[in-house]
Structure 1
Amino acid sequence: MGDQLLVGTRKGLLILRRDSAGDWRQDSVHFLGEPVSMVLADPRDGNLYAALNLGHFGVKLWRRRAHGTEWGVCSVPVYPPQPEPDPRRESAPDGVPAAARTGDRAEASPPAPVPWSLQQIWSMEAGGTDEPGVLWVGTLPGGLFRSGDGGATWALNRPLWDRPERSEWFGGGYDTPGIHSICVDPRDSRHVTVAVSCGGVWQTRDGGKSWNCTASGMVADYMPPERREDGNIQDPHRLVQCAGHPNAMWVQHHGGIFRSGDGGMHWQRLHARPSSFGFAVAAHPRRPNTAWFVPAVKDECRVPVDGRLVVTRTRDGGVSFDVFSDGLPDVPAYDLVYRHGLAVDHSGDRLAMGSTTGGLWISESGGERWKLFSAHLPPIYCVRFS
């Protein structure tokens, strides 16, 4: 099981360890007082990475070597110079006509250009076991970056960035689009799937040289009827993959829960109680039909349903859902869980969940019972076992 837990918060990175008695204790705190937007424990070499969002001081990325104690600065992804818009026609900076951007009349006014500058590291994943040093990073405003040397240098994936469809992407939770989920196929490192808010699900099978939008079956209820099934404007909140059966993928979407059994090529909409809306999802590492969610009220009232924080689990591919609250706070509780605030370790029995109001819970029973670690942490952005 994962006996170390990384907790990225608005005021630092907490590292928890499980002692011989089975109790979780805080081992150390790093970057105290600074927002940690994403963390990664590279399973290939044991290196730790922490991404910080320092506002006026920009985005920073730090690395701690395996068995080391000191953090060293890595480079951060840098966008290329942004081209000037063509004054001769109404278009976005990328040269895409307004009609293509809006899917409506040619005279529609263009959206504001998305700045080509790093605003946040929103996701970070290691490459395959056959790719030592390869890291993938998803960012706001929607760029995917790759490093081949453990974060020393980064390159923007231009084939995805230069897709004409990107001009239609828009913010979901933030003012600009962002790539918050990256899944590297354990069978083939060249096969990478990413999810964009709001820009759908995209896949490459050649290491990033070409991309296809694969959101067939997803439905965006917030769009006009004629565009609700348009893959390029879907808002997946979080995408995860079953490591042992990579064809099984789950998405917690703005419009509900979706599951794919064919590697994300087609999606089926599922319905859960007390709600199918939420942000977080975790997939069992070996059982393709098992996943966990944290439901909430939709849209403008983003709180737990009836003020009751629960975790739901399906073990039959979404046909039915169990609802668990043992160990979670009594009504009223208004904790919300961000996209990366729910994690399961490689055993599939141990889970961790962190909330926007600083609650951290750990389950040793597949989510059926929870134990509070602390109710007084800073808002939690991400939790990851290592």
Structure 2
Amino acid sequence: MNQDRAWAATRKGLFELRRRAGVWQIENVSFLADPVSMLLPPDRTGRMLAALNLGHFGTKLQASDDAGKTWQEVGVPTYPPQPEGAEGPAWKLLQIWALERAADTIWAGTLPGGLFSSRDGGATWQINEALWYEPKRLGWFGGGSDAPALHSICPRADRPDELLLGISCGGAWRTTDGGQTWALSAKGMRADFMPPEQAGEENVQDPHLIARCRDVPAVLWCQHHNGIFRSTDHGAHWTELKAEPSSFGFPVAAHPSDPDTAWFAPAVKDERRVPVDGALCVTRTRDGGRSFEALRTGLPQQHCYDLIYRHGLAVDDRGEQLMMGSTTGGLWASGDAGDSWQTVSAHLPPIYAVKFG
């Protein structure tokens, strides 16, 4: 990963950023005026992907072989023909919400909740039939949309056949055989939006985002609709954590090597969805969730109504630099693990995702 390069995927284009002499600056814009829902940063060959959500014209996927200098359209994930009378939402691609690499495979998570894989750099895609035809999928439902969304794909660097997925609202699912079989993996999560007797059901949980510690892969962090959860056994069991000023939010960034450190962006939940008291902060734990500190230096502390989407907070490969983008077009960067922040821009379009590259 290039520590001095990052991207912001926004409602009106993909913005490339470079850090020079310690200062982040916008250097290039691709797909100006087009909504970019997700990106996959370049690999060692320069191959990267950008997913566009063009409304009437549908979902498109663009690929670059030179780290974003030039682009060409490639195929998008497609669902099998929908049988007449099939239950659930239409089998039609509405959005590409997650892109991740694992060894020689690229994985894509979609709305509605499908998982797709590509072994040719994103040129062609195959649906994961084991998950798509899983009977429990019919129990999934939408959180902020009419259909369930597969937004979190957590591979293991040491075991590329193992993945953990986050689905709103469908809980967490785990495979250890490259997607041939799947099992629910949300025990301990809590869904207060369900009747009390159903609050612990794994298949109705609403994880907003799940992130894995790269070097200690047994540790996973989840920002859930009903709080913050942590697992130390690859997702088999989850423990709820309490944070101030709020345990509600959408993003989570896991430190790549320290399993006790993670970052969150708290907000007021449900109908309001704004920073607590109109003051933006990032919360950080360094002790596995036993305590949290609110990091505010350099972030707006008055009349701030920026929300951070689930993919709007990122940490680099060293766990030193952070970047955060908001629904109001604010973009901030930190070079000291969140202790202090600098404004990169206050005038970008709404930001859907940020990634280091």
Tell me, yes or no, if structure 1 residue 368 matches structure 2 residue 343. Answer: no
Name the residue aligned to 1:104.
Answer: none
C-alpha distance in 2, partners of 1:280/1:307? 18
Q: Which amino acid aligns with 2:157?
A: P
C-alpha distance in 2, partners of 1:44/1:18? 19
Name the residue aligned to 2:6.
Answer: 5
CA deviations over 1:317-365 (Å, ceiling 9, x no partner): 0000010110001211010000000000011010000000000000001
Query: How far is 1:228 from its partner?
Result: 0.4
C-alpha distance in 2, partners of 1:14/1:286? 28
CA deviations over 1:252-282 (Å, ceiling 9, x no partner): 0001000000111110000000000000100
CA deviations over 1:363-383 (Å, ceiling 9, x no partner): 001011000011110000000
Question: Cα RMSD over matched residues?
Answer: 1.0
Name the residue aligned to 2:40.
Answer: 40
Name the residue aligned to 2:353.
Answer: 382
- Unaligned stretches of 5+ residues in structure 2: none
Name the residue aligned to 2:258.
Answer: 287
Q: Which amino acid aligns with 2:344?
A: F
C-alpha distance in 2, partners of 1:205/1:46? 29
Q: Which amino acid aligns with 1:8?
A: A
TM-score of the two chains, using structure 1 as the length reference: 0.91
Query: How far is 1:6 from its partner?
Result: 0.7
Query: How far is 1:68 from its partner?
Result: 6.8
Query: How far is 1:78 from its partner?
Result: 0.7
Tell me, yes or no, if structure 1 residue 313 matches structure 2 residue 288. Answer: no
Q: Which amino acid aligns with 1:192?
A: L
Name the residue aligned to 1:359.
Answer: 330
Name the residue aligned to 1:124.
Answer: 99
Count matched residues: 356
Name the residue aligned to 1:28.
Answer: 28
Cα contact 2:102–2:157 (8 A) shared by 1: no
C-alpha distance in 2, partners of 1:381/1:227? 32
Cα contact 1:361–1:373 (8 A) shared by 2: yes
C-alpha distance in 1, partners of 2:69/2:187? 46
C-alpha distance in 1, partners of 2:120/2:344? 36
User: Relative to structure 1, is the Cα distance of residues 310 and 67 closer, same or farther in structure 2, using a 3 angstrom cutoff?
Assistant: closer
2:136 is paired with a residue of what secondary structure?
helix
Name the residue aligned to 2:71.
Answer: 71
Tell me, yes or no, if structure 1 residue 243 matches structure 2 residue 210. Answer: no
Name the residue aligned to 1:107.
Answer: none
Q: Displaced runs of 4+ in structure 1, greater than 6 A?
A: none
Q: Which amino acid aligns with 1:47?
A: R
Name the residue aligned to 1:100.
Answer: none
Q: Which amino acid aligns with 2:252?
A: V
Cα contact 2:102–2:156 (8 A) shared by 1: no
Q: Which amino acid aligns with 2:75?
A: S
Q: Which amino acid aligns with 2:102?
A: G
1:215 to 186, 190, 204: 186
Cα contact 1:214–1:266 (8 A) shared by 2: yes
Query: How far is 1:69 from its partner?
Result: 2.6
Query: How far is 1:47 from its partner?
Result: 1.2
1:356 is paired with a residue of what secondary structure?
coil
Q: % of aligned pairs identical?
A: 56
CA deviations over 1:154-180 (Å, ceiling 9, x no partner): 111010011111111010111110100
C-alpha distance in 2, partners of 1:142/1:171? 9
Name the residue aligned to 1:229.
Answer: 200
Query: How far is 1:298 from its partner?
Result: 1.1
Q: Which amino acid aligns with 2:230?
A: R
1:299 to 270, 276, 298: 270
Cα contact 1:307–1:331 (8 A) shared by 2: yes
Q: Which one has the largest radius of gyration? A: 1
1:265 to 215, 227, 236: 236
